[in-house]
């Protein structure tokens, strides 16, 4: 079992191998194999350029600016946006920004193809509005459409939990997340984390933290 989230040393950040905890994944890493993987299939360019963006934009560039910087460094000129239809206004602004900065942009909404939710075996009870036609979210269709368009980097903008997983699994181009959906918290999921020991404690630990861990 790996427990990096509770690690007290974070020796991997300093390179001090002598301080790795017993269950540190660094102890089990085949470094030569891992280094070889970074030199396969374009991984080296993605990793190296991501590190350069981090170094030069650290605490200075917004995420949207970092995405554009990363795309330029990788030589990507055609970007895709896979967005939740509920965030169409935001997707339109992002498209404008990207085009103003010299990128070609293809955007595909989650409801593309207008497939009924019944295709998933869902019933009226599984709908937001029972008795009405509801298009299912179609992240596989989004990924396929952007592949046909020839996008080189895809931006994920507010897809539902699970739908984002399907999109990333099916996407031909590399994917980066611009925004994660959280309708309750204004698309800021970390707000729940910051409030986990405060206002949201009873909601996030309904049986108590100790009982949940056992």
Give the chain's domains with CATH numbers: 63-213 (3.40.50.11840)
- Provide the pLDDT for residue 29: 87
Give residue-wise pLDDT tens across range 157-169.
999 999 999 999 9
CA dist 45 and 62 (Å) reads: 22
Give residue-wise pLDDT tens across range 8-28.
999 999 999 999 999 999 998
Confidence of residue 209 (pLDDT cuts 50, 70, 90): confident
Q: In 125-196, which ranges are E strands?
A: 153-157, 175-179
Confidence of residue 106 (pLDDT cuts 50, 70, 90): very high
Residue 82 CA, chain-centre distance (Å), reads 11
The DSSP 8-state label assigned to residue 174 in this structure reads -
3-state secondary structure of 107: strand
CA dist 13 and 118 (Å) reads: 49
- Provide the pLDDT for residue 208: 84
Share of the chain above pLDDT 90, in %: 95
Residue 214 in this model has a pLDDT that exceeds 60: no
In sequence order, which residues have a C-beta less than 8 Å from that of residue 183 and are 6 or more positions away? 86
Residue 128 in this model has a pLDDT that exceeds 60: yes
Residue 51 in this model has a pLDDT that exceeds 60: yes
Global pTM value:
0.93
Average pLDDT, the chain: 95
């Amino acid at each position: 079992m790996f427990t990096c989230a509770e690690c007290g040393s974070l020796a991997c950040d300093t390179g001090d191998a002598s301080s790795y905890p017993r269950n540190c994944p660094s102890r089990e890493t085949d470094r030569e194999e891992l280094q070889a993987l970074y030199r396969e299939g374009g991984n080296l360019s993605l990793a190296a350029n991501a590190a350069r963006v981090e170094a030069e934009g650290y605490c200075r560039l917004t995420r949207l600016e970092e995405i554009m910087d990363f795309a330029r460094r990788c030589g990507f000129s055609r970007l895709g946006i896979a967005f939740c239809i509920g965030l169409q206004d935001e997707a339109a602004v992002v498209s404008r920004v990207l085009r103003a900065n010299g990128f070609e942009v293809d955007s595909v909404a989650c409801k593309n193809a207008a497939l009924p939710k019944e295709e998933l075996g869902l019933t009226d009870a599984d709908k937001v509005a029972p008795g009405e036609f509801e298009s299912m979210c179609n992240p596989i269709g989004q990924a396929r459409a952007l592949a046909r368009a020839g996008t080189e980097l895809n931006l994920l903008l507010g897809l539902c939990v699970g739908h984002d997983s399907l999109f990333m699994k099916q996407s031909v181009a590399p994917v980066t997340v611009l925004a994660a959906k959280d309708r309750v918290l204004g698309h800021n999921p970390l707000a729940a984390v910051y409030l986990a020991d405060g206002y949201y404690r009873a909601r996030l630990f309904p049986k108590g933290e100790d009982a949940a861990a056992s």
